[in-house]
Amino acid sequence: MSQSEFSVSAFKHQFPLFAEPENLQLVYLDNAATTQKPAVVIEAIVDFYRHSNANTHRSSHRLARRATEMVERVRAAAAHFVNAPSPREIVFCRGATEALNLLANSMCQGLQRGDEIVLSTAEHHANLVPWQMMAERYGLQLRYVPDVAGVPEFDRLHEVLDARTRIVSLTGGSNALGLRPDFADIRRQLDTARQQLNSELRWVVDGAQLAAHETVDVQAIGCDFLVCSAHKFYGPTGIGLLFGREDLLAAMPPWQGGGEMIAAVDLYHSRYAELPHKFEAGTSSLAAIAGLGAALDFLAVQDRAAMARHEQGLLQRLHSGIAALGQLRLLSQPQHNLGVLAFAPEQGSAADLAHWLDGRDIAVRVGHHCAQPLMHAAGESATVRASVAAYNTVEDVETFLDALRAYLTLDLSATPAVQGAALEWQSDDLSALQLERLAAQRNWQDRYRELMRWGKAIADKPAIRRDSNLVRGCESAAWLVHRENEGRHYFALDSDSRVVKGLGALLLSQVDGKTAAEIRALDIAGMFTDLGLAQHLSESRSNGFYALLQRTRSSIGD
């Protein structure tokens, strides 16, 4: 029997955002952060507010009954989505982060000082910080799967399991690298440890990146708990799922207290509701639950295997294309990967590259991706991450690779460093920079190139890279120093980002060597707007420019 063919055009046609005039050329490769929403999800949210808006479980009137029926219908659909034995094993949370916090707080209450929690270096911060907080609160020990350059070797998990291991909480797919562990091998190691150590350790899977790309079957995986967020698999933001084995959930204390999660309350004691409601304090995001239900129905009629094959084809092309370009360090691998390409430029900064791509209407993500331990171990402060979904096309991939080729033609060679002691610095010579030339550039791409050229006028200054000189508010680190000589003010700047250097050169070309009165008379913010920079730069980049401007003004006593 031949494999069915996936129609990406028919699939993409169901997502209204891509039909908007301003998005017709958009290449959206930020799906690991959040996916776009099909029309049925958007309509379900609107329909709830239009026809069924009422609180659940608390009233007997028609709208409340309808809202309650919707919530429990979606809970049953969610149980089917992850193949949970019972809807009682599904808890609605605001997302995977809240679900992991719930588990950490509730599971750790019964542990003893010295008990151990096993994590990996590839975890999202949401699967690190809650356990760190509980370890500090209860005197628990954190242990980590052995790794090479930050990449966990999950086949060596057994090496860190012992009689004190109580919780193993591991990613189901790295948001930074896309790495998907071998669940069958992890289950085998955990089952062996349970038998040999007579241990009751519990296995938590962070499935935030998993659910969009694979069919989830908690019974086949063999985990005790699994969490995921709807907005990662075409659903709305603000709602997620926690699966937990019914016997374990029943034994766990609730995390939050309030309405819905109680059966009875007196002045000194409360009796909690039955599962799953004892973990759902307060009013849930009911419209988001309606949207989640629509997303589950939407995925239920898709050919998930064909979607996965399409995504893997895109991922293979992305990795082979990056490898062929050179000048880019690949961190991810296409094998066992849930749709993520991660790389860093050998010259220039990842943030500069991401803004270049944004200028071509290509959406990627740059930074540490809430996986700082992994990034640090890999020797990177930031990477560019392109992540695919089933609506991405071969044309999207080729447009992205063409944009990278164009970026790599820019002169990204390093600027010379200014040597000397910490207080021995000099202003850069910015006399060759012409504001008129920057303003005359015909489009944003040309203006961006010119800004990058201006950045070469700012020499590297290792001596000024002190915390006291760091300018807070810049997306990429920037350091600014100042001194006054005979009534005139002089500045020097450094940054790892060529764009930040270019913006700094623009600012300093106007203020360096001037008196305080002359600087106060300048309309720098107006110049920034007139050049169209506020329109094309991200809010964080614009805020960085204004942070530099504010530091120069505070330096002269404003």
Q: Which residues are catalytic?
A: 370
Cα separation, 375 vs 381, in Å, equals 6
Is the separation of the CB atoms in 512 and 427 below 8 Å?
Answer: yes
Going by C-alpha positions, the residue among 240, 273, 233, 289 that lies closest to residue 91 is 240
Token duo for residue 515: 């008196």
- How would you class 333 by CB atoms within 10 Å of its CB: exposed for 0-12, middle for 13-18, buried for 19 or more? middle
Q: Assess whether the previous peptide bond of 276 is cis (omega < 30° from 0).
A: yes
Token duo for residue 372: 């700082």
* Beta carbons within 10 angstroms of residue 72's beta carbon: 14
Single-letter amino acid code for the residue at 335: Q
* Beta carbons within 10 angstroms of residue 295's beta carbon: 27
Token duo for residue 99: 């679900």
* Beta carbons within 10 angstroms of residue 489's beta carbon: 20
Question: Quick check: helix, strand or coil at residue 335?
Answer: coil
Greatest Cα pair distance, the chain, in angstroms, is 85
Question: Quick check: helix, strand or coil at residue 158?
Answer: helix
Give the length of the chain. 558
